[in-house]
Amino acid sequence: MTGETINMDDFASQNRFVIDGETDKDHQIHSILCQPIYNSERKIIGVAQMINRTTDDHLFTDQDENLFEAFAIFCGLGIHNTQMYENALRLMAKQQVALEVLSYHATAQKDEVEKLKGKPIASVAEFKLESFAFSDFNLTEDETVQASIRMFMDLNLVDRFHIPYKVLCRWLLSVRKNYRPVIYHNWRHAFNVAQTMFSLIKAGGMMTMLTQLEVMGLIVACLCHDLDHRGTNNTFQTKTASPLALLYSTSTMEHHHFDHSIMILNSEGNNIFQALSPEEYRDVISVLEGAILSTDLAIYFKKRNGFFSLVESGEKTFQKPADKELLRGMMMTACDVSAIAKPWDIQRDVAELVFSEFFEQGDMERQQLQEEPIAMMDRKKRDELPKMQVGFIDAICMPVYKIFSEIWPGCTPLYAGVSRNRTNWQALSDGKIPDELCRSDSRPEAANGRSRPQPAGVGIVSKGAGEAVDPRPTK
């Protein structure tokens, strides 16, 4: 752009400009007056244009140029003020989110840290941490934190990266504390996702694909990937114009989870990365951010074809940075939805937790937005749960577990588990009762006296049978 004012009185005879796109054939351009629009830094941010002055000769005068220049200045001021207003809105939204977070959360208390620090940590075998059939139902809240410590220790992250044990204890307790008590996307979900990542790395044979720094980044990402989750998804944030939606236009919750992770790391006494070199710190934060953002299924759908194509081309080492990023993203998705591959009684319980949380969002959409929720958020359609689970398995879970099992045979239990559960959900959808449902009807109490989760108002219903086949009453 030259920045000059253009007053052209015979458009048809010039060859400097061409008409781009369709125009009304009956409309002829005789004259044009163009004026650049500047911002406060004298950079051109737009162009104001007038066509065909409403006089017989259609010519723009010098006076027109002066008036139009003043108008262009006014436009520049208007655009500048609009941008300033948008920036102010973003800052206000960011401040509101920060105040909201700070008012709700706090770091771990000193006595909590000392108590955890003094407790013995059971072994991997005692916790059964390498098993893809792992269940947290038998663990207390404190034992989930102890099991998390064991994962760090067994992966040699504490020694390799010189993480002070007290700092690790404080950080884990702070992370747990920063999860809200929502039905599903809570601390226990994050812990289970981290346990599956541990199993992929140890039992699944994926350690050879990763550096130790990546391993640490992935475990931390799993534990932090849903921090401060409110029990509602990105779409709900956008529809309600929440402060989070104003702050993050895409992957709203995932960006918030990552930023919240950084906030905890920056809190006094919580930086488990404190002994890393500047380069290591930069790299692990990059892994952490990419891993958490990849738990947005919209990103998974966008990137998985690239991963599948890479595998089909014969790639098995994943040493290029871009290839590794794809692999880490697929690993995060595989871990995030891994409840779908658990033994049937565990999978059934977790499905009820997930849909119970979804139904609560659906209720809020009806109340706050006065609109009908989509099927999976609609408790009026809870009898379609088995059918929706089959769709979820086919669209998201089965492809990634299948390809993982083909490359890394140690991951086969995930593919076998999801295949088995698909059969069970399909049977329920068809109005039948799977054999596994009959075998697991007893629903024993957990070993520590805690009962299995029983969310309200879900129940597993057999489509066509017209009645619940889950023996437990729903509340």
Q: Which of 185, 225, 229, 257 is catalytic?
A: 185
Residue 386, judged by CB atoms within 10 A of its CB (0-12, 13-18, 19+), counts as: buried
**Cβ neighbours around 467 below 10 Å, total:** 8
Whether 185 sits among the annotated catalytic residues: the reply is yes
Beta carbons of 325 and 332 less than 8 angstroms apart: no
**Pair type for strands 44-51 and 32-38:** antiparallel
Cα separation, 223 vs 218, in Å, equals 9
**How far is CA 418 from each of CA 198, 221, 347, rounded to the nearest angstrom?**
19, 24, 10
Chain centroid, CA 86 distance in Å: 25
**Cβ neighbours around 365 below 10 Å, total:** 21
Beta carbons of 296 and 266 less than 8 angstroms apart: no
Number of H helices, E strands in the chain: 19, 3
**Cβ neighbours around 299 below 10 Å, total:** 18
State the residue for tokens 């990365």. 273
Cα separation, 152 vs 220, in Å, equals 10
Report which of 318, 342, 344 is spatially closest to residue 331, judged by C-alpha positions: 318
Beta carbons of 138 and 447 less than 8 angstroms apart: yes
105-120: b (≥16 Cβ within 10 Å) or e: bebbeeebbeebeeee
State the residue for tokens 């919750």. 253
So which residues are the catalytic ones?
Answer: 185
